[in-house]
Amino acid sequence: MKSDADNAKLLGKAEIVRDLLPVLDEFELALISVREDGDEGLTKGMELLYSNFLGTLKKVGLVELKTEGKFDPYVHEIMMTQEAKGKKPGTIIQVMKKGYMLGDILLRPASVIVAKEEEEKDDAKNEK
Predicted confidence (pLDDT) per residue in 4-59, tens digit: 888 899 999 999 999 999 999 999 999 999 988 888 899 999 999 999 999 999 99
Rounded to whole angstroms, the Cα distance separating 111 from 99 reads: 7
What are 57-100's pLDDT values in tens digits?
999 999 999 999 999 999 999 999 999 888 899 999 999 999 99
pLDDT of residue 85: 87
Residue 123 has pLDDT above 80, yes or no: no
In the prediction, which pLDDT does 124 show?
52
**Check: CATH 2.30.22.10 for 4-117?**
yes
Return the C-alpha torsion angle 52, 107, 69, 111, nearest 10: -100
